[in-house]
Amino acid sequence: MTKDTPLVLTGAPLTHEEIAQVASLAREVEIDPLTHRRVRETRTALEEAAQSGATHYGINTGFGKFSRQRIEKTELQALQANLIRSHAAGVGEPLPVPIVRAMMLVLAASLCRARSGVRPELIDVIVRTLNAGITPVVPESGSVGASGDLAPLAHAALALIGEGEVFDRTGERAEAADTLRSAGIEPITLESKEGLALINGTHLMCARLALLRSRFLNLFPAAVVAAAMTLDACRATDAFLDPRVYEARNQHGPRMVAESMRHLLTGSEIIPSHDNEDDPRVQDPYSIRCAPYVLGAVFDSARSVWIQLDRELGAVTDNPLVLPREGDDGVDIVSAGNFHGMPVAIPLDTLAIGLAHIAGIAERRVDQILSAHDPETRLRPFLSPKPGLHSGYMIVQYTAAALCNELAGLAAPSSVVNIPTSAGIEDYNSFGPRAAAKADRAMDLVTRVVAIELLCAAQGIEAHRPLRSGEGVERAHALVRSVVAPLHSDRPPSPDIESISLLISEGGFSEPM
């Protein structure tokens, strides 16, 4: 299946590629008929269980601190609608449309696993809203990420019941009820348990991590390419890429990065050009020589993050759960804590730490290029076309340093700081949504730091012409030059940085170089 065919929700785990396609490429979504029937059966079983008169959290009780408050049957619809209204307490700028669409898809997929007890009609409304290109206006801040992403999901649910605001297919902000009805979608009236099922999950933080995975897979190869290009720009040695070294270290990530760098540099004329010279350098700086270890450690760390993500993309993060009872056709309604965001929050914090290291070591290599103006490197100070008259790329290192300073703050974990909520009932929260926002911002910054390194390294490579670098590096160099001209006189570097950043974000360096 591709982005040109509908994504069919079956209850199976989503993939990050599917989420990106629905979020950003408007891929259509459908619900498998068998899944539709299974959701209906679970709903019927929940309704039968609720008729027993027993007390069930969120079905016939209040929420949080009000969980001991029994609600009359005649007030159950109002209970669910009031839950959505009261919890739509987010603040700040609206989340970008792709993030909200991704969140809604993750929510719909979770509900399709038939453990939340909702009617299939509710999932239908979510799917139809996605397919109509209608996106609820969801403020960025307000979720502590423990009883689910309550505030962001409540704002999304508010639109489904015909309240609040949405962005229509053209991106215009409008009233939800009118926009839904103009698309032939009737706002839904929530029945028992359904409001809680809409907001009681980790769907925002999970969706943001899935989108970050797609972006990371475009960024990381660019970071490896930049490291290899800098090696030749600085006329460094490739001796440290000897595969026997990495066999001795016995770490997968460093071995993989070293192999990639060797491949990128295969055929380099620059490396052997200074083998026989009187080069007093014995070892290159850590930022070059240890690049495989730092980048490899980030890669291995990210692999553990993706394992957690893949598990979450097949999860039901609701409470209470409607679970089949062994031995008969009945169900048990079990209150637990599947909504807690820590299994996603810690991976998000981990990802931000790794991103900071990609940028940190890239900035150090930028400084090596711009500071290396001795005879061994054959580079002019700051890569200036005429030192003194032109400043060259002096200030891009300042920019990289500023971004790295911000990244250090973003790498401070959100998940380790607890603030209890709901009068102490919800007394240990994950703050995963803040971790997701920080990781998202970190991805933006790191992409620009790597773009700065590619900008400088491409200029540095040209200082060694007519010698050529390895085939992979030369292809990357040509890609940079397809959007950024060589520096022959001072010009504002900002547009060039943004152009290369766009190349990275679009996956220009993710193809084999």
Task: Show which residues are catalytic.
Answer: 57
What residues pair up with 333 in beta bridges, in sequence order? 322
- With a CB cutoff of 8 Å and minimum separation 6, the contacts of 388 are none
86: tokens are 């009261």
Distance CA 13, CA 49 (A): 28
Token pair 């996106």 is found at 135
d(CA 70, CA 64): 13
Cβ 97 vs Cβ 167: under 8 Å: yes
Q: How far is CA 434 from the centre of its chain?
A: 12
Among candidates 397, 267, 322, which has minimal Cα distance to 118?
322
Is the bond preceding residue 320 a cis peptide, omega within 30 degrees?
A: yes
Cβ–Cβ under 8 Å, residues 222 and 507: no
d(Cα 224, Cα 476) in Å, to the nearest integer?
A: 11
Q: Compute the half-sphere exposure of residue 125: CA atoms within 13 Å on the CB side of its CA.
A: 24
DSSP letter for 506, please.
T
Query: Measured between alpha carbons, how far is 436 from 491 in angstroms, rounded to an integer?
Result: 36
Using CA atoms, how far apart are residues 175 and 187, in angstroms rounded to an integer? Answer: 12
What is the distance between the alpha carbons of residues 116 and 39, in angstroms, rounded to a whole number? 9
Cα dihedral 390/393/394/400 (nearest 10): 160
Cis peptide upstream of residue 495 (ω within 30 degrees of 0): no
Closest CA to 360 of 403, 297, 395, 409: 403
Amino acid at 253: G
What are the structure tokens assigned to 137, written together? 């206006």
Query: What tokens does 248 get?
Result: 């001795």
| The pairing of beta strand 7-9 with beta strand 29-31 | parallel
Please say whether the beta carbons of 299 and 259 come within 8 A: no
Strands 165-167 and 135-136, bridge-based pairing: antiparallel
